[in-house]
Structure 1
């Protein structure tokens, strides 16, 4: 068949989409390298190592890099779980076009018991990709790299200059990296946040969360002396009445409801939560335990007031502690994300079209809903930089995010990469681009 008979040539975007499918194994290899860098928070001690890896992967794409460290006095709590430099990597490639910020948190939750595979090694079974952070959210970085390489390979003209924001401490930190970047005026353009799901969703906002570390101190002696009056003060036993009071408050908190639109799969309204998330204390059977630390996590609805929610917890603790004067007591804030308000805006229709291009959604599939999960973008909104935040990601109910055997799939990485590539492409839905629309 002659060239004349073969039909019109493929566009750059069509060639780019083909390249995404052809080069998915490169994205899988990238993801494997990312998973091997343990960025679990707490403590979040390997952010520099992850920044090194990302610079290595992005350098061939002609990005410029800036490492931005959050000052220690903003995030360091003496008794808190975080340590190590809070290094954020900003990778930019500016040509004068409007900027699209592409946001990722590079931290993961810690490894929890129950993994059937090595959480810090990528395990491939059929099309499933298992590993800590595979879906939340290192896989989204791999999908972005796949989209950017495919655009370059196919010569796709981009509507936006991409700026990658690889940020720290979203998983419960006291001062997330994106907050610091926003407060320092380092953000540009509009932002696509990949801390979401692979669902046809318009983001209506989300809850806030704060974490309090309760430290109860007793006095340690030989356990054989523990039955002698005044010999020792058992901190763990002293913590039990406090935790009983917190469990009573838990039921009060859970009875409240938010007006924030719940996910389509929800069985009822979104509700605030109070959780005893971690306990650490004691040393050996031969000692009366001198100290116990209890991590209290409180998810609060946009309608709630943070100061009031925190005071409610502290009042319950202090009421019980007053009856145990021999115990020492400390309450420290070790993590806080404020609620994110309705993030809809003028770029959402184009992003919805791009998601449809990648995942095959129909316009009528999209719904607007929020979540009791939390985000660090409430801080970005509070600076006044933007209210609109686009949202995408790889999360699915079956992905086991924050659970043993977290995973994503090659198909979803391809679909997300195609969505990103479409959104970036100048000839994709130009009528939906607020930057060029009359």
Structure 2
């Protein structure tokens, strides 16, 4: 039934891709919540909208209300399985050969921003629950839908706020921000985004007066100091087990100069330069220590710069996720469900972590330690890049796995992909 009704959920995916929920800035959350309610209300869900207070998330990059949506069955009679999806996507960026905010289907390949991360998982959830209803499948869990904001680097992700308010109230929590791989999640790195604003003084670029201060040029000492720190940081290795595609090489800490903006035209010195630095923090490290290192490098560069002022601001933070499978009651069943849904042998699963980040670290800090991971990302499907894609087969397989996990009764051995 999931496969036979693919035209319906592919059409739904097209509607979601067309709604721009890029973060930054994140202005589309309320409209996206409208679309989600329209899709899931016919399945018997009632909805509650929860906005993160502006004082918690406000940064120069962020705009618009942070509307999180919780969908619950009208009657909750079973243990609850939370199904988490973040509603924001990375901005389209450059290099697309297909329209990023429209769904393009070529055979069984589905292109568009958010197909893999993670609007495709929304329609996998829709296909799962629609099939359960129409086929009369008895469920062992009542699903609790958690559609949350600002996972893609915001200062205060929506699921953090929900968890701290006691609203992630479930017996099992399924996070769909993972991959379509035979993986047992061992955890992931934390992430820091630090914005640096270098102030100069704009004058005509042909003016030899010493009054002009080129903010871009005066940012160079700071960039040099950050690059020196980058070499130190990326020599550090993590005890977190690495993914198979690294072929035994360890995961390492990361520092990236992710964006630089300054100047507008050739006839004027730039009066300001803004730098965005991303730091991926190993679970073996201290988040506060990593931030202190960045601030020290900025101060070192500032001492060699003629900039009128240099200001820093933390604009994004995600805590590391540590041992989400440890001692869990639900991981074995979810592993069997993935095996059945995707056709992966049980013996083929590998426990590993990642240097990517997740907002589930905040959920752990709020008291939910076991987190199940699934999703649609693969190493080759260009998540966050141009021509991001997923496939009909992977959405179908994820829906099969979710249905097997949620259904009341044992999960058969194996399955057909």
Is residue 228 from structure 1 mapped to residue 209 from structure 2 by the alignment?
yes
**Aligned residue number for residue 374 of structure 1:** 357
**Aligned residue number for residue 58 of structure 1:** 40
> Does the 8 Å contact 1:238/1:327 carry over to 2?
no
SS in 2 for 1:206: strand
Structure 1 position 141, deviation (Å) = 0.5
Selected match of 2:263 from 277, 282, 287: 282
Within 5 Å, give how 1:307-346 maps onto structure 2.
307-344=288-325, 345-346=328-329
**Aligned residue number for residue 356 of structure 1:** 339
Q: Deviations over 1:350-386 (max 9, x none)?
A: 11111111100111011111000000011011111x1
Structure 1 position 185, deviation (Å) = 0.4
Structure 1 position 397, deviation (Å) = 1.3
Is residue 156 from structure 1 mapped to residue 137 from structure 2 by the alignment?
yes
Distance between the aligned counterparts of 1:261 and 1:426, measured in 2? 33
Within 5 Å, give how 1:157-176 maps onto structure 2.
157-176=138-157
Is residue 92 from structure 1 mapped to residue 83 from structure 2 by the alignment?
no
Distance between the aligned counterparts of 1:203 and 1:405, measured in 2? 27
Count, aligned residues = 408
**Aligned residue number for residue 379 of structure 2:** 397
Distance between the aligned counterparts of 1:353 and 1:217, measured in 2? 56
**Aligned residue number for residue 33 of structure 1:** 15
Moved over 2 A (4+): 323-327, 427-430
Structure 1 position 423, deviation (Å) = 0.8
> Does the 8 Å contact 1:261/1:368 carry over to 2?
yes
Is residue 254 from structure 1 mapped to residue 234 from structure 2 by the alignment?
yes
Distance between the aligned counterparts of 2:396 and 2:306, measured in 1? 60
Distance between the aligned counterparts of 2:378 and 2:303, measured in 1? 46
> Does the 8 Å contact 2:198/2:219 carry over to 1?
yes
Structure 1 position 201, deviation (Å) = 0.9
Q: Deviations over 1:405-428 (max 9, x none)?
A: 000000111111111111111123
**Aligned residue number for residue 390 of structure 2:** 408
Q: Deviations over 1:264-293 (max 9, x none)?
A: 111310000010000111121111110010
Distance between the aligned counterparts of 1:219 and 1:95, measured in 2? 62
Is residue 74 from structure 1 mapped to residue 56 from structure 2 by the alignment?
yes
Distance between the aligned counterparts of 1:362 and 1:163, measured in 2? 29
Structure 1: which 5+ residue stretches go unaligned? 1-18, 431-438
Structure 1 position 49, deviation (Å) = 0.7
SS in 2 for 1:354: helix
Distance between the aligned counterparts of 1:209 and 1:95, measured in 2? 36
Distance between the aligned counterparts of 1:248 and 1:187, measured in 2? 41
> Does the 8 Å contact 1:157/1:425 carry over to 2?
yes
Distance between the aligned counterparts of 1:285 and 1:335, measured in 2? 32
TM (norm. structure 2) is: 0.96
> Does the 8 Å contact 2:219/2:305 carry over to 1?
no
Distance between the aligned counterparts of 2:357 and 2:50, measured in 1? 23
Selected match of 2:222 from 242, 258, 263: 242
> Does the 8 Å contact 1:119/1:131 carry over to 2?
yes
Structure 1 position 325, deviation (Å) = 4.8
SS in 2 for 1:178: helix
> Does the 8 Å contact 2:340/2:411 carry over to 1?
no
Is residue 203 from structure 1 mapped to residue 185 from structure 2 by the alignment?
yes
Structure 1 position 326, deviation (Å) = 4.4
Distance between the aligned counterparts of 2:252 and 2:17, measured in 1? 33
Query: Do the aligned partners of residues 240 and 325 (structure 1) sit closer, same or farther apart at CA in structure 2, a change above 3 Å counting?
Result: closer
Distance between the aligned counterparts of 2:307 and 2:157, measured in 1? 37
**Aligned residue number for residue 9 of structure 1:** none
SS in 1 for 2:244: coil
Distance between the aligned counterparts of 2:238 and 2:339, measured in 1? 30
Distance between the aligned counterparts of 2:229 and 2:174, measured in 1? 37
**Aligned residue number for residue 114 of structure 1:** 95
Q: Deviations over 1:62-99 (max 9, x none)?
A: 1000000000011112xx21111000000111422000
Structure 2: which 5+ residue stretches go unaligned? 413-417
